[in-house]
């Protein structure tokens, strides 16, 4: 199974219980993993998790605000100290390449592995190992992106009972059937592997949002099996702010998810004002009043499998 691990779920600044934004994706049967955003202190969060920076192969940055990117430079330096030989890919908005290269030059950071930085834009599609990723432009005070992850279908399993009933002897032939190959028995009978496989399991579709005050930007790509999106404030608190920041409220997100027909939401990027007993539930209740699906509030080191 694939898994998501929340390494940082706070908005803007860390708290005693939440670090700033970082989310890890690990695909099944692979040690390599992908990181979405890398706020300050992310490498410390990795040390406290089941993950290893040594096997980190790819990083996506949603936007260049510090709580989403300031941890990148320390993580690169530490990964270099581990003498990790595999190339590292980093993707993000325009300006990311200049930011990383400038810090590396001024701090004389020399890495033992190849570093590939790609600046992405709206409409870009990447075909990666096990899934396709689409880049979605969001609405924020700086260029910010969300991502649609569409995972490959999982092949069906070999129906061994059906194979036995057909008189196919157990052993290497079963492996060939599982790979969908044609098998010929000594008596001349031929069997197609696809006829002995259960139907494939459709791959999941995930929506991962960067900072964004218009969650309906994801609507053209809906539905999703899961949406992970910021819910920085309650609507009441947001309305009282003397200065409005371009973030989504819990109510906005719930209404958008209901319109998109989603079944599950995970709220993240939580304002530190809710990092007290009881207040965090205000966000949950606000979403539940307008959204019929399942909703959870992410916390640091929360892990979900799919």
Evaluate whether 280 touches 274 at the Cβ level (below 8 Å). Answer: yes
Q: Is the alpha carbon torsion for 288, 20, 54, 117 positive or negative? A: positive
Q: Which residue, 67, 62, 64, 65, is CA-closest to 13?
A: 67
Q: How many residues does the chain have?
A: 306
Is residue 67 part of the annotated active site? The answer reads yes
Distances (CA, A) of 165 to 141, 158, 174: 64, 13, 13
**Separation of alpha carbons 73 and 87, rounded Å:** 16
Query: Which residues, 6 or more positions from 193, have their beta carbon under 8 angstroms from its beta carbon?
Result: 176, 177, 178, 179, 180, 181, 182, 183
Catalytic hit among 37, 67, 211, 237: 67
3-state secondary structure 110-159: CCCCCEEEEECCCCCEEEECCEEEEEEECCCCCCCEEEEEEECCECCCEC
CB 227, CB 207: distance < 8 Å: yes
The residues assigned a catalytic role are 67
């Amino acid at each position: 199974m694939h898994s998501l691990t929340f390494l940082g779920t706070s908005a803007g600044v860390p708290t005693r219980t939440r670090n700033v934004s970082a989310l890890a994706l690990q695909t099944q049967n692979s040690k390599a993993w992908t990181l979405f955003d890398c706020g300050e202190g992310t490498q410390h969060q990795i040390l406290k998790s089941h993950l290893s920076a040594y096997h980190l192969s790819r990083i996506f940055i949603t936007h260049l605000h510090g709580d989403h990117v300031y941890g990148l430079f320390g993580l690169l330096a530490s990964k270099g100290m581990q003498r990790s030989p595999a190339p590292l890919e980093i993707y993000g908005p325009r300006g990311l390449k200049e930011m990383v290269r400038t810090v590396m030059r001024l701090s004389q950071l020399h890495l033992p592995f190849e570093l590939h930085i790609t600046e992405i834009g709206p409409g870009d599609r990447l075909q990666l190992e096990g899934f396709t990723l689409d880049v979605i432009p969001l609405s924020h005070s700086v260029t910010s992106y969300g991502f649609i992850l569409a995972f490959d279908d999982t092949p069906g399993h070999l129906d061994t009972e059906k194979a036995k009933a057909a008189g196919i002897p157990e052993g290497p032939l079963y492996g060939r059937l599982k790979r969908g190959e044609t098998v010929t028995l000594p008596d001349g009978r031929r069997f197609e592997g696809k006829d002995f496989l259960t139907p494939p399991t459709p791959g999941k579709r995930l929506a991962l949002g960067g900072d964004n005050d218009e969650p309906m930007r994801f609507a053209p790509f809906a539905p999703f099996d899961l949406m992970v999106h910021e819910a920085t404030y309650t609507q009441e608190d947001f309305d009282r702010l003397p200065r409005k920041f371009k973030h989504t409220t819990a109510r906005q997100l719930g209404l958008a998810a209901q319109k998109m027909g989603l079944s599950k939401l995970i709220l993240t990027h939580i304002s530190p004002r809710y990092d007290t007993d009881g207040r965090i539930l205000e966000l949950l209740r606000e979403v539940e009043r307008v959204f019929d699906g399942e909703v959870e509030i992410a916390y640091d080191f929360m892990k979900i499998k799919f």
